[in-house]
Amino acid sequence: MVLRRGNAVVYDWRTGRVTAVIRPPRTAPQGFTGVAAAGDDRTFVLAAGAGHSSFYEVALGQLGTVSRSLAQLPVPAVANAGTSFAVSPDDSELALALPQPGGVATDEIMVVSLSDGATRIWRSPDPGSVYAMSWEDPLALRQEVWSGHPRLLFGWADAARAHRVARQRSGLRLLDPAAPGTSLLGSRLVIPATAKVGALTTLNYPLITAAGTFVFATMTSHAGGNPQAAVVAFSATTGRPLGVVTPLADESGFGTWCGALWANASGSAVLAACAVQGMVNGPHFSAENLHFPAPNFGVGSNFFAW
């Protein structure tokens, strides 16, 4: 599902055929501004509207057509068009990355129950920003079976005055919404921002596998006059990089979006686009046309959902 001209367009990734075009509700003529997918590859959550966003759920059938039409979700009117969000694999919770009240440059994460609208909020004592989110279900046996205890991987860029402290706290962190406490920094640091693979140093667009085994993240280099990007696999247990799994892409300002698009529960099969589109099986990358409309690198992550 890709956002185009305010609509949500559903493609068959194998053929590129459009199977559905979902138009926004009349109350949101500005169109959809973000989309995220649950773990069944059929349920999607869409954000719509200018100002504070409203959220809607839609379900697709096996042929990619709409099987359950748009239904508004009980999400508080706190998110804006650029808000990063992610829906849990079991479609029970929605995570939102929000600025703290008062306009300070510090983000918070709000998790909303999609059954009753109940919310819980985590904040950081440091200024900083949440830049990406992805859910796991640590007891998932296969992609359609969930434990009901999902955890949230998020990217955190700490901005504490003490540079050493900021570096120690920054990176990809794993939050357990069922655990006590309300501090973002009570989450576990999975992959530090200091991670380095060759010349690749900057983390973005993380995708954690449903079973919580691997993390696939985009890494970029900034050395020299020609920045490059690639998708790198990490162990979600140790945080160690396991290798570059896509070709390097030129990201000098004109390159296309680079990142992991989808992974099965175990992480044994991954679809990715980074200059070349294709499938990753273990350490092997096979080029394949996924019919993914990869725009400019800076477009963000909520413009599509797989």
Q: For 46-74, how does the pLDDT look when each residue is reduced to its tens digit (9 = 90+)?
A: 999 888 899 999 999 999 999 999 999 99
Closest to 207 in 3D by CA, of 157, 272, 148, 251: 272
Q: For 159-192, how does the pLDDT look when each residue is reduced to its tens digit (9 = 90+)?
A: 888 988 899 999 999 999 999 999 999 999 999 9
Residue 265 burial class via C-beta count within 10 angstroms: exposed 0-12, middle 13-18, buried 19 and up: buried
Confidence of residue 297 (pLDDT cuts 50, 70, 90): low
Residue 155 predicted with pLDDT over 50: yes
Residue 15 predicted with pLDDT over 70: yes
Secondary structure letter of residue 289 according to DSSP: -
In this predicted structure, what is the pLDDT of residue 300?
65
Closest to 44 in 3D by CA, of 121, 114, 147, 122: 114
Residue 296 predicted with pLDDT over 70: no
Confidence of residue 104 (pLDDT cuts 50, 70, 90): low
Once rounded to an integer, what is the mean pLDDT over residues 140-147?
A: 50
Closest to 242 in 3D by CA, of 250, 230, 254, 253: 230
In a domain, 138, yes or no: no
Closest to 7 in 3D by CA, of 58, 63, 80: 58
Number of domains in the chain: 1
In a domain, 245, yes or no: yes
Once rounded to an integer, what is the mean pLDDT over residues 116-143?
A: 84
Higher pLDDT, 299 or 122: 122
Residue 284 burial class via C-beta count within 10 angstroms: exposed 0-12, middle 13-18, buried 19 and up: exposed
In this predicted structure, what is the pLDDT of residue 270?
96
In a domain, 86, yes or no: no
Q: Which residues pair with 54 in a beta bridge?
A: 48
C-alpha to C-alpha distance for 128 and 132, rounded to whole angstroms: 13
In this predicted structure, what is the pLDDT of residue 256?
76
Percent of the chain with pLDDT over 90: 68
Cα angle for residues 214, 11, 294 (degrees, 5° grid): 60
Residue 254 predicted with pLDDT over 60: no
Residue 232 predicted with pLDDT over 50: yes
In this predicted structure, what is the pLDDT of residue 143?
46
Residue 205 predicted with pLDDT over 70: yes
In a domain, 215, yes or no: yes
Residue written as tokens 């540079």? 163
Whether 75 and 54 have beta carbons less than 8 Å apart is answered as yes
In this predicted structure, what is the pLDDT of residue 227?
82
**Amino acid letter, 13:** W
In a domain, 211, yes or no: yes
Residue 106 predicted with pLDDT over 90: no
In a domain, 220, yes or no: yes
In a domain, 218, yes or no: yes
Residue range(s) defining the domain that contains residue 221: 195-306
Residue 299 predicted with pLDDT over 80: no
In this predicted structure, what is the pLDDT of residue 294?
73
Q: How many CB atoms lie within 10 A of CB 236?
A: 23
Give 223's contacts (C-beta < 8 A, 6+ positions apart). Answer: 199
In this predicted structure, what is the pLDDT of residue 27?
87
In a domain, 199, yes or no: yes
Residue 144 predicted with pLDDT over 60: no
C-alpha to C-alpha distance for 264 and 236, rounded to whole angstroms: 15
**Amino acid letter, 298:** G
Q: Over the chain, what is the mean pLDDT?
A: 89
In this predicted structure, what is the pLDDT of residue 275?
86
